Amino acid sequence: MEKKKMLQIMYKPGLTWRSLTAIGVGVFFLTPIAIYSMLLGAGGLAAVPWITVLLFSEIFRFIRKPLSKQEITIMWYAIGTGSVGSTFLILLQQGYIATSPITRLFRDPYSGEVLSKAIPLWFAPPSGSNAYLLRTFVHIDWLTPILFFILYSTLSLFMQISLAMIFSQIYVEVEKLPFPFAPIEATLCTTLGERDESRMRILMLSAFFGCIWGYLLYGVPIITGGIYKKSIQILPIPYIDLNRYIEKWLPGASLGVATDITAYTWGFFLPANIVLCMFIGSFAAWFFGNHLALTLPYFSQWQKEWTQGMSISLIYQRSTLWVWINPQIGAAIASGIVPLVIYRKTILRSFKNLMRIPSSSLKAGYLSLKALFPMYILSACGIIAIFHYLVPEFPLWVAAILTVGYPFFITMVAGRMVGEVGFPISIPYVWQGAILAVNYPKVDAWFISPLSTNAWYAPLGQAGTSGDGAAINVYQVKVCKLTETRPIDLFKALILVFPLSITASFIYVSLFWWMSPIPSAAYPATVISWPITAINTGLWATRQLNIFRPELILGSAAFMTSLGIIFHLIKVPFSLTGTVIGLYTLPPYSLAWLVGYAIGRLIFKRKLGDKWENIKPILVGGITLGEGVAIGLSVTLVIIAKSLWILPY
């Protein structure tokens, strides 16, 4: 029955002249807001593209050419991707690292030079360049970093798209994974496009509630902190920290209560076994595990660092570094191995089916595996070639294996996790571990990564890979399927907004840099975060950090693999995916999901019956939309207020 229903989907185009117009205007309208928000540290722009979607949906309704749900779906994802505009902000941060006094405090252990002098010219212009004095990217010293950055990013985009298409056909079309959160965004797009009166009433009421909550939780501190320099918080963001109340009985443990209501509503969509396994995994690590690690000599560095009064965020940072990074990597590996063992026949059948385009994939516009694999391999070869040209002495075989193998592996793992439980994972410090494993002596490899979507690894700390982006694209394809939007239009839109985003980033970052130096007091976030980034870069490049323990990685991988297979054989409803996600999740959120699940099942489901399944996506979508509008308007107000000091009156 499900197969027959899927074959009856009539895909419609989402990329039209109306959606293209909105995307173009939206990217250029939102990019300065996004960039300035990052410079101010205001944050919270993830849902702001909905403002543009709402605006254009009303404009086109006014001229009697209303947007369809397909157009709204493509607009939402294209504007959200294209409006980030971080390209030239990253390049500027690289320039800061190359010239920062902090970088001069570190010394290259290979050459003995000050680290700032050992930084390659393809990373950023050297200290003393007129490009910094004139505050402009239109300078010969910027040419090489900009060209390599854009070329690298372009190849990564095509690698990401090829991976997304491959695993979309497997996870969405063949295995039909549930993607528990996809109905939220699909329902939003459908409701805004079709304007069903009963759905719109629920959407607007829930959006009104979400807007009020979003204003109280995020809007008030954003406005007061941005305008009056003193942030007022009605509720702590993003959770109420309870560590000080439990550290007397369980030193090292973390516990808190999430204050964002959307965290609770996500529990409405999770199956019982998954939400329980996420809760167990989270509390086993961050509540009981952190406490237990303080008693074991194996984690001596964690014992030295923990002190009374540490917050959840600080404990998360330090215990991840000294306790959990290795088990997390091992668990992630297990989450990739176990499905290959359990679902090997399905996966092999899926790849065989991809060698020819099935009718459903043909309607959706997918390419066949015969076209996608060459696209993937050619993109990887291009990245490897650039990397080898820039870092010729690094072992080429190591870079090649990682560049070809890791994005594919993480898409397979993270894509399945998004499909089963709604949350992806990203394995941190993979490239740093590779450099340390091969004992590469020079510093140049620390300033570029063949795994990163934007090439330069150091400024972003744990930059995403093409595989991470592809896993999110697989989720977006599921939303497209639910809204009967041709998935190929999504990928076309991502390609179209790429040059728009780079152009907008160049214009607005140049403008902000021309107005005031970056970093400077005019852009507070840069004064706070950029020095920390420079410190972390110096620590890694001079090999003062080595957190990897192979025995712990392999041990945790073996344990979690055995656990997953054994529970499958004895037919216990254990979710390895949920448990692994729990290892990456702090207790405030895993607790919120469990509470949300209980409220949905024990209260709303009992009172509303079968109607609850139809109402909950609209309800949650409206709350998310309302919060996004509140945050977006608050950030915009701060930007307007902060820009007035430049005027002469």
Which of the residue ranges 121-135, 348-362, 523-537 would you say has the lowest mean pLDDT?
348-362
Enumerate residues 6+ apart whose C-beta is below 8 A from 292: none
Taking alpha carbons only, the member of 102, 81, 151 closest to residue 504 is 81
Average pLDDT, the chain: 84
Q: Where are the beta strands (DSSP E) in 5-142?
A: none
Q: What is the pLDDT of residues 162-188, one digit of tens each?
A: 999 989 888 888 788 889 889 888 888
| pLDDT of 305 above 60 | yes
| pLDDT of 596 above 90 | yes
Q: pLDDT value at position 47?
A: 56
Q: What is the pLDDT of residues 236-255, one digit of tens each?
A: 888 899 999 998 899 999 99
Q: How confident is the model at residue 7 (pLDDT cuts 50, 70, 90)?
A: very low
Q: pLDDT value at position 462?
A: 45
Q: What is the pLDDT of residues 11-49, one digit of tens each?
A: 888 888 888 988 888 888 778 877 877 776 655 455 567
Q: What is the pLDDT of residues 525-568, one digit of tens each?
A: 788 778 878 888 888 888 877 788 889 999 999 999 999 999 98
User: What is the phi/psi pair of residue 516, to 5°?
Assistant: -150, 150
Angle at the Cα of 145 from the Cα atoms of 141 and 151, rounded to 5 degrees: 140
Taking alpha carbons only, the member of 96, 12, 131, 220 closest to residue 510 is 131
| pLDDT of 570 above 60 | yes
Q: pLDDT value at position 463?
A: 52
| pLDDT of 645 above 60 | no
Average pLDDT, stretch 371-378? 90
- Give me 204's structure tokens: 């607007």
Average pLDDT, stretch 371-383? 91
- Give me 482's structure tokens: 């639910």
Enumerate residues 6+ apart whose C-beta is below 8 A from 254: 243, 286, 287, 290, 312, 315, 316, 586, 587
Q: pLDDT value at position 464?
A: 64
| pLDDT of 633 above 60 | yes
466, 453 in Cβ contact below 8 A?
Answer: yes
d(CA 146, CA 92): 10
| pLDDT of 52 above 80 | no
Q: pLDDT value at position 460?
A: 39
Which of the residue ranges 288-302, 387-401, 427-441, 468-482 would you say has the lowest mean pLDDT?
427-441
Q: How confident is the model at residue 458 (pLDDT cuts 50, 70, 90)?
A: very low
Q: How confident is the model at residue 229 (pLDDT cuts 50, 70, 90)?
A: low
d(CA 556, CA 627): 39
Q: pLDDT value at position 453?
A: 64
| pLDDT of 3 above 50 | no
Taking alpha carbons only, the member of 61, 33, 4 closest to residue 631 is 33
Average pLDDT, stretch 498-504? 90
Q: pLDDT value at position 468?
A: 82
Q: pLDDT value at position 332?
A: 86
Enumerate residues 6+ apart whose C-beta is below 8 A from 322: 299, 301, 302, 305, 547
Query: Is the bond leading into 101 cis (omega within 30 degrees of zero)?
Result: no
Q: pLDDT value at position 357?
A: 58
Q: Percent of the chain at pLDDT above 70?
A: 91
Average pLDDT, stretch 599-622? 88
Burial class (CB in 10 A: 0-12, 13-18, 19+), 236: middle
Q: pLDDT value at position 4?
A: 44
Q: pLDDT value at position 356?
A: 62
Q: pLDDT value at position 535?
A: 82
Average pLDDT, stretch 470-493? 92
| C-alpha separations of 107 from 103, 104, 124, 517 in Å | 8, 7, 18, 27
d(CA 495, CA 155): 11
Radius of gyration of the chain (CA): 25
| C-alpha separations of 518 from 39, 83, 84 in Å | 9, 21, 18
d(CA 438, CA 436): 6
Taking alpha carbons only, the member of 222, 257, 213, 220 closest to residue 44 is 222
Enumerate residues 6+ apart whose C-beta is below 8 A from 385: none
Q: pLDDT value at position 643?
A: 62
Q: pLDDT value at position 425?
A: 75
Q: pLDDT value at position 76?
A: 86
| pLDDT of 149 above 80 | yes
Q: pLDDT value at position 588?
A: 94
